[in-house]
Amino acid sequence: MLVDNRCGSMRANVPFCDCRVGTKVLLLTSAEDLGCTPGFQQKVFHIDQPAEFIEDQAILNLTFSDCKGNDKLHYEVSSPYFKVNNDGSLVALRNVTAVGKTLFVHARTRHAEDMAELMIVGGKDIQGSSQDIFKFARTSPVPRQKRSIVVSPILIPENQRQPFPRDVGKVVDSDRPEGSKFRLTGKGVDQEPKGIFRINENTGSVSVTRSLDREMIAAYQLFVETIDVNGKTLEGPVPLEVIVIDQNDNRPIFREGPYVGHVMEGSPTGTTVMRITAFDADDPATDNALLRYNIRQQTPDRPSPNMFYIDPEKGDIVTVVSPALLDRETLENPKYELIIEAQDMAGLDVGLTGTATATIMIDDKNDHSPKFTKKEFQATVEEGAVGVIVNLTVEDKDDPATGAWRAAYTIINGNPGQSFEIHTNPQSNEGMLSVVKPLDYEISAFHTLLIKVENEDPLVPEVSYGPSSTATVHITVLDVNEGPVFYPDPMMVTKQENISVGSVLLTVNATDPDSLQHQTIRYSIYKDPAGWLNINPINGTVDTMAVLDRESPFVHNSVYTALFLAIDSGNPPATGTGTLLITLEDVNDNAPFIYPTVAEVCDDAKNLSVVILGASDKDLHPNTDPFKFEIHKQTVPDKVWKISKINNTHALVSLLQNLNKANYHLPIMVTDSGKPPMTNITDLRVQVCSCKNSKVDCNAAGAPHFSTTAVLLLSLFSLARKLTKAQAIVFSYVFPQKSIQEETFIF
């Protein structure tokens, strides 16, 4: 290492002196005449700190050789204020006053790489970011302190090749006692990953045992100390930082795909479509991760092979063609695929590349109005029919997948009765004109509609709807033989039941809607479930041909329903149907009846109650209850049978004394409340049975066996639902051993 401050002097090994003011130049003799050793021919230099490093003024010449021609030699400097030119000269990129104590220069080719250290004599430590201090390292060198152990940061390029181990630095201890040794500790030595670094305990040389990967670990913080023969620390530990120098061993990767962008047709030149960026795992503070973007390929390449441009630094894709060329309707394909390439090393040829596909869609805007394919459309429809009668066709050059293409139709004239509606067919975009209210030929045989068509989306301001966006539809209504119509429908009449046969109920009336045709109408019965009615086929008079009975099973809720037909004389004839509802008023024509008609009683019963009788009537009030119960004629001596009223519909039959075992017939007469009333006499058969030891013997000649309890329970079931509170008290007095609730529950 030789420094000459005297301009023009010649010293040994210093073949050249640059006499620019304030500059100290260090020249290295070539080592090639001594046999080629790859790397810097001199690796450590001292430079006096000038008042200012002048821009583009040579400070130092460095000699590097890979012994194979230095193809694609590349230099990196640890300070962003300096660079090394291709000829090896170190120059400042601008006027610089403060540099720091140390600069590092890293040189590499495909065959070799090496590091040179430049010590700035009189330089001061610079407080700042690590990127400003060392472009491809993490921190600045460890400042020296007042101690005998002297360490400098060790810089090791990643991905070094064999042989290993190789020396990468040295620790110096000027005051190390005799017999002491160096010891190295930390992550990468005695901590995982173990065994990467070693130190010669006698000389202080630090070596690396294998290739490093900066993307795995960018720096190692080690500690150096001196120890005595017993392992006791004499000095230290002193931190030693090992910085892994990045190599360009990672390609740019596009990680956020798929990349799809949209741009509206007709957009101005320079419209940003999308941003696409890549990731490089190399050191972001170096050119190894400094990416530049370009478009490698565009498909399709029409109408211009350069429809888009990508900002090489930001990755923004913008349009570069005029708005007129960005017309979706004239493009061969509204979708473009771009092959985007990202290259590190700031785009230099030596950089690594990665690619991705960006898809750009040219979106449609509503710059074309829909137009009818013709000005007039014709349609025919039969009167009385509904449904689609004609499809209206339109053309629209916009994108069928958007509201700029989808049509919306409106009837703007000719539809005062709202008989027509129009809807859009979503597949064909046609307007489907429908009749929703049946048309009447006799009222109007022709209709003319004026229809306009618009898009769901509004048109762009420079486009408007023109005359082609309206059309006329002429509709012809065809006459159809319509069936006669009854009026009113349904027809209603009220009559008493049991009116005499042949009584006229009403005269039906049906008219023919075909007023322009002269047709006659004939009537007939379509549905007469009981066969009670007759109709005059000419004039429609309806009379009875049987007695009307409100209690008939064909009558529901006192209403009898019949259907009639009216048939015109057209060809073919048309038929209309009318409904007749006959409300039948009740007449007291049904006598009441009693239940049950059989009862049992024990010959030694203490309770002489026999049975509770109920009465029912098919008629309606006031022709039903209250009913009157009587014993018509007794066949036994007087004061044996007794009947007592319980309520309007029930009575109690009881004995006044015990009877011998036998069958007895008791005529019960029940009368309703109609005017005039109706009476019915029914035999109540009472069996007097022998009841001993819980056995009931009712054997009498030809007499069927019935349980008194069963008969009573049947009667109770009917009665319990009709008893008032007061009547229930009377019932409990007559049958003290029975509970109305219990009997009702049993049933």
458-472 confidence digits (pLDDT tens): 999 989 999 999 999
At 40-71, the pLDDT tens digits run 888 888 888 888 889 888 888 999 998 888 88
Indicate the SS3 state at residue 253.
Answer: strand
| Residue 351 scores a pLDDT above 50 | yes
* pLDDT at position 44: 84
Among the ranges given (22-26, 244-248, 283-287, 441-445), the one the predictor scored with the smallest mean pLDDT:
22-26
At 693-709, the pLDDT tens digits run 778 888 753 444 444 44
Q: Please, are residues 57 and 89 in contact by the beta-carbon 8 Å criterion?
A: no
* pLDDT at position 131: 38
Q: How confident is the model at residue 124 (pLDDT cuts 50, 70, 90)?
A: low
The percent of the chain in helix, strand and coil, each rounded to the nearest 5, is 5, 40, 55
The C-alpha atoms of residue 265 and residue 367 are separated, in whole angstroms, by: 10
Q: How confident is the model at residue 336 (pLDDT cuts 50, 70, 90)?
A: very high
Q: How confident is the model at residue 581 (pLDDT cuts 50, 70, 90)?
A: very high
* pLDDT at position 295: 97
Query: What is the arithmetic mean of pLDDT over 311-330?
Result: 94
At 355-410, the pLDDT tens digits run 999 999 999 999 999 999 999 999 999 998 999 999 999 999 999 989 999 999 99
Q: What are phi and psi of 719, to 5 degrees?
A: -80, -40
178-to-199, 203, 244, 366 alpha-carbon distances in Å:
18, 12, 34, 92
Give the chain's mean pLDDT. 84
End-to-end CA distance of the chain: give it in Å, rounded: 127
Q: How confident is the model at residue 684 (pLDDT cuts 50, 70, 90)?
A: very high
CA atoms within 13 A on the CB side of 151: 27
* pLDDT at position 634: 61
At 474-497, the pLDDT tens digits run 999 998 888 899 999 999 999 999
* pLDDT at position 198: 95
| Residue 5 scores a pLDDT above 50 | no
Query: What is the arithmetic mean of pLDDT over 613-638?
Result: 85
At 723-735, the pLDDT tens digits run 444 344 434 434 4
CA angle 574–577–578, rounded 5-degree value: 145
This prediction has a pTM of: 0.49
Among the ranges given (267-276, 490-499, 597-606), the one the predictor scored with the smallest mean pLDDT:
597-606
| Residue 143 scores a pLDDT above 50 | no
| Residue 9 scores a pLDDT above 60 | no
Query: What is the arithmetic mean of pLDDT over 559-580?
Result: 94
Of 58, 28, 56, which is closest to residue 43 (Cα–Cα)? 28
At 513-566, the pLDDT tens digits run 887 778 899 999 999 999 999 999 999 999 999 999 999 999 999 999 999 999
